[in-house]
Amino acid sequence: MPELPEVETVRRGLAPALEGCRIRLATQRRANLRYPLPDRFAERLTGRLVERLDRRAKYILARLDSGEVLLIHLGMSGRFTIHPPEGGEAAPGQFHHATPESGAGTGKHDHIIFDMEDGTRIVYSDHRRFGFMDLIVEADLDANPHLASLGPEPLGNEFSAFTLSERLRGRRAPIKAALLDQRTVAGLGNIYVCEALFRAGVSPNRSASSVAGPQRSERLARAIREVLNEALAAGGSTLRDYAHTDGELGYFQHSFAVYDREGDACSKPGCGGTVKRIVQSGRSTFYCPRCQK
Ligand SMILES: [Zn+2]
């Protein structure tokens, strides 16, 4: 499941092909993804200029010259591929196939296609169809149910030890659950929550309120930013490395310190502990019981 760094990497990969570009023709192959697509979806996108591509939490927001915003959520398996026009040069940061495929976008799971004015074809495919798209009037964006209750962006200026502490205070839920709650901080999922708690030396079993003190909240806020920034750097190097991407955006190899490392020796120097897996609210948590307190 893509989390903030993967979604941001997709956004950065799409930006050169979308920002400032006009959609010559939008095509929808189905009436629904996870949810029904809005009325006349393809028609409302066709002819529109994409003024800016933003991200909020795990959503990509394409701001259109019609005053509407295309909201995109990748779900579990949503993927974008960019196919430049035949003979076209890919700009730095833009993806391309070594030999442009004819027939790109005709696969069984290719659901939405954007043919841009410059001949670039952008294909959204999603074999499990947990992703979704919506069109929202820009003025209504903040009130949209998907966006309204989201907490601060962890890499934005509004996020700090203080704002984190305020959102943890008085909550009896385990810190793991509190961080997965998108109202606490936006964009974190299971992987980066495990990694941030490990980095901060905070046990996932501890109550959220017990992390609200100045020292732990400072350590945790810093760890959250660090693990996200390192993952973004890994995503960025994938963006520059065409050979390993096959034109597909956002799914990059990244090594984790605890996630999916049950039984491995703890990587903290001098710890000597072993990574353990427990289940919290139905989801796996990986942590080192020795150095995470
Ligand atoms: Zn350890």
pLDDT in tens, 112-159: 999 999 999 999 999 999 999 999 999 999 999 999 999 999 999 999
Q: Which of 11, 48, 58, 63 is catalytic?
A: 58
Q: How far is the CA of 273 from the centre of ligand 1 (A)?
A: 5
Give the Cα separation of 131 and 149 in Å (integer): 20
Q: Which of 3, 6, 68, 195 is catalytic?
A: 3
Give the Cα separation of 95 and 249 in Å (integer): 8
Task: Determine which helix (DSSP H) or strand (DSSP E) holds 53, and give its type and residue range.
Answer: strand 49-56
Inform me whether the pLDDT recorded for 48 exceeds 70. Answer: yes
Q: How far is the CA of 181 from the centre of ligand 1 (A)?
A: 25
Residue in 105, 31, 34, 27 with CA at minimum distance from that of residue 75:
34
Q: Are 237 and 250 in contact (CB under 8 A)?
A: no
Write the pLDDT tens digit of every residue in 162-183: 999 999 999 999 999 999 999 9
Q: Which of 226, 283, 289, 290 is catalytic?
A: 283
What pLDDT band is residue 221 in, cutting at 50, 70 and 90? very high
Q: How far is the CA of 177 from the centre of ligand 1 (A)?
A: 21
Q: How far is the CA of 274 from the centre of ligand 1 (A)?
A: 7
